[in-house]
Structure 1
């Protein structure tokens, strides 16, 4: 299966470099040089992964991520020179899945791209019939479609949020440690406590604060909201 990747960056040499390294992979590479061009391509093509720079003309990377997250659940990799701690946290809050700082090693970029594609698409394509849909109270997760519903209304999730919500919904009431959550969500033991905290805050905002309970000193668990059956 060939994946479609859209790389958005106003530095044409960066796009050219990554495109060269992607030649040996089963990947179709689309390119845009600002956020407005990217939105046009996203509306016309089935894109499997989005690579975004932050500092771009017309529509910057943060604005683009916000726009994309209104309608799409594809994985988003930020490759940018602007990676302060506050930028990284803000990017995660609005929907980025991973970060890479310029200048970067192209081989590392390829590894991250392949990992995001593998994790994201295998979640949907490898789901068994048994786990096609998870239901906890008025919260439902359609696993093949990678879509969550709260009281029947669809909500947009990042790839990490989807994985973590799936983990919690498979065993409601069980306490998962921060280590277990970031290892499952990011599949990376270096994701860190702060990433977990930021992601959990965003997930609470989306599904309802009362559905995720913090167990001080231990971790998090999913609960059925009061009054739900």
Structure 2
């Protein structure tokens, strides 16, 4: 491989270990020991993926990730000694693609790097989009096979759930009422079916959202309906 990985961690021993294993797999490696140095190296080099520690001096990984996401869509793997779910959710919500807790197996980290680069190369938004696909961030809705992928993960939806998601995706930026969703999917007049739609949307969100309390895809517009942002 000739991909270039930016590894950011204030622990020199961890930097050295990651660099050795990545170079053994023919990756180019650039290192930095805090977020500010990382931002500078990102500006001056063509980086394909970033491994980013959370706890660092000057600019921590969370704020560095937020700054990077203002300009770059490249994969980011967060490193952290914290393995609680709230820390993982925070890391993913600020834009990380994956989250690895310390101590970690270097071979597993390299495998995750390969997976993220492969996913990004295959699914990044600059690629020509099939007429049979709707791409929303890292979610791909294939209207021909009626399959949904988030990254490389296949999301198992029922036929009704898929149809609801497809209707919302085809109307990105528009708020759809419960009535219009029901009539589009069930192909019959709406009659006291508000709860039916709500239950299906709740089930969809549980399957596609990392954090249902702070949804990335399907948003509720209270008193009006549901939407997927453009």
Using the size of structure 2 for normalisation, the TM-score is: 0.64
The corresponding residue for 1:16 is 16
State whether residues 123 and 151 of structure 2, in contact with CA within 8 Å, keep that contact through their aligned partners in structure 1: no
State whether residues 5 and 51 of structure 2, in contact with CA within 8 Å, keep that contact through their aligned partners in structure 1: yes
CA RMSD of aligned residues (A): 3.7
Looking at structure 1, the residues matched to 36 and 133 of structure 2 have their Cα atoms a distance apart, in angstroms, of: 36
The corresponding residue for 1:52 is 52
The corresponding residue for 1:144 is none
Offset from partner CA, 1:42-66 (integer Å, 9 cap, x none): 1111111000001000000000000
Looking at structure 2, the residues matched to 114 and 17 of structure 1 have their Cα atoms a distance apart, in angstroms, of: 17
The corresponding residue for 1:153 is none
Instruction: Give the paired residue count.
Output: 174
> Which 5+ residue runs of structure 1 have no aligned equivalent?
136-140, 142-160, 191-203
Structure number with larger C-alpha Rg? 2
Query: Runs ≥4 in structure 1, deviation > 4 angstroms?
Result: 124-127, 132-135
The alpha-carbon deviation at position 11 of structure 1 amounts to 0.2
Offset from partner CA, 1:38-93 (integer Å, 9 cap, x none): 00001111111000001000000000000000000000001110232111111111
Looking at structure 2, the residues matched to 130 and 14 of structure 1 have their Cα atoms a distance apart, in angstroms, of: 39
Q: 2:137 aligns with which of 162, 167, 183?
A: 162
Q: 1:185 aligns with which of 141, 150, 155?
A: 150
Q: 2:143 aligns with which of 153, 171, 174?
A: 171
- Call closer, same or farther: CA 1:54–1:130 in 2, change over 3 Å: closer
- Call closer, same or farther: CA 1:130–1:15 in 2, change over 3 Å: closer
State whether residues 6 and 49 of structure 2, in contact with CA within 8 Å, keep that contact through their aligned partners in structure 1: yes
State whether residues 22 and 110 of structure 1, in contact with CA within 8 Å, keep that contact through their aligned partners in structure 2: yes
Larger relative contact order (C-alpha < 8 A, sep ≥ 6)?
A: 1
Looking at structure 1, the residues matched to 154 and 53 of structure 2 have their Cα atoms a distance apart, in angstroms, of: 25
